[in-house]
Amino acid sequence: MLSVLCQVSEKVMGVGRMEARKKKCTEVVFAVLLLLLLQIAGCGMEASLPIDQKEGEETPHPSGRRQGTEQTVKDTEAYVEFSSVETEDIRGMKTIYLAGGCFWGTQKFFDQFDGVIRTEVGYANGPDSWRRSLPLIDGRGPTYEEVCDNSGHAETVRIDYDESRISLTKLLEYYFMVIDPVSVNRQGNDIGVQYRTGIYYAEEDQLPEIQAEYERQEQKAGTKFAVEVKPLENFYTAEEYHQKYLDKNPGGYCHIPAAMFRLQEEAEEIEVETPPPYGRRQGTEALSEREMESPERIRERIGDLAWDVTQNGATERAFTGEYDEFFEKGIYVDVVSGEVLFSSEDKYDSGCGWPAFTKPVSEDSLVWVTDTSHGMLRTEVRSSGANSHLGHVFEDGPVEEGGLRYCINSAALKFIPYDDLEKEGYGAYRRLFEEQ
């Protein structure tokens, strides 16, 4: 061993064999450390690929989920906890971890919002038992294949955000827009424990805000949720090909409708201030009167059919509604509250027998609720202001408009003609038509 070390010393120090043997002990130690460092570097590079996978081999996907795009792991990075990755020091930056089914779509959804600094997908809150008989490699988390083989981790998106520009409450509002909060181990067509929903916090002071928004969403939906709320136990960065997957593969699979990826863009384009529920008439007196309006008075004002639809979840008969084949220029508001819901610019003839729209004027005006009535699994649409039942949303709408079809009862709507917008207190919404 000494002979080998001396030979290394000769190379390193540039001296002959006899002189190398006479060098101080510190020079031998230097050579030993050099060899160790070279060995460690070699092991680190070997560990960057999953066990039993050679560089360049394709990473398999579970059937029924990842469709249409084959990926390789040529640029796969080592699996390390995100906390070990160097991060910039941003004052006011906070972090939250959200599991919402397939993390491809969840990451793209949150990337759009102003105030979100960066995102990264990974595997969170799984047990150590996933390692089974595998040798322990420091810093190595589960591979994608191990997660799909029930490692117990959830596909999760780490979100770093500037709380001076976007609050945790707002992020959670967006989160509940794109998940089915009552499903267990399933989102869309993706089934398995890795697709469970969860809110994982790294700071204890985030919990009260999480609980407040969680309870508010449950009250809106009128049912208990199955979304986990837990401290973050662990988070392992996913393979590189999963990062920003839908940016790299625009046609890739996603359980989230494409229209949901344009919320920020549409908000910036329209920049219309939505009048508060009941508050569209002049002064505060009208607001107080409407807030104090009794159920009997509301029913008398809107009629029995509109009452049954908005308050009892009834459905008007197909092809009988006032606005089914109605295409005049204007906006549609909640018949109960006057809250702005839809524009005639987004209305189309779907042939379904009810008014159909590709999108609302503002996503904040609607609440999506899982509906299991009549032996079907559907997504109910309610107004956020008055909690009126409006109809349902389906994913068979025009693809070029985002793929959604809002199927709405005429009885739940009131039409405001374009020429009457100013007179009726909706003058700000003339811009919806002037920008066309």
Active site residues: 102, 407
> How far apart are alpha carbons 211 and 229 in whole angstroms?
8
* CA atoms within 13 Å, Cβ hemisphere of 99: 33
Q: What is d(CA 173, CA 213) in angstroms, rounded to the nearest whole number?
A: 8
Q: Classify 119 as helix, strand or coil.
A: strand
CA angle 375, 380, 381 (to 5 degrees): 165
Alpha-carbon gap, residue 128 to 235, rounded angstroms = 12
Give backbone dihedrals phi and psi of 240, rounded to 5 degrees, phi first: -60, -35
Question: Could you give the angle at which helices 103-111 and 168-177 cross, rounded to 10 degrees?
Answer: 130
Per-residue buried b or exposed e for 333-343, using 16+ beta carbons within 10 Å of the residue's own CB: bbbbbbbbbbb
Where on the phi/psi map is residue 29: left (φ > 0), alpha (ψ -120 to 50), or beta? Answer: alpha
Q: Compute the distance between CA of residue 360 and CA of residue 371 in angstroms, rounded to an integer.
A: 20
Nearest to 180 by CA among 89, 99, 267: 99
- Bridging pattern class, strands 235-237 and 116-124: antiparallel
d(C-alpha 335, C-alpha 321), whole Å: 14
Burial of 97 (0-12, 13-18, 19+ CB in 10 A): buried
Q: C-alpha distances in angstroms, 17 versus 14, 31, 32?
A: 10, 14, 17
How are strands ordered across the β-sheet holding 366-371? 347-348, 356-357, 405-408, 389-394, 378-383, 366-371
Residue at token pair 């089974």: 132
What is the total residue count of the chain? 436
Cβ–Cβ under 8 Å, residues 403 and 257: yes
DSSP 61: -
Rounded to an integer, what is the distance from CA 204 to the centroid of its chain?
22
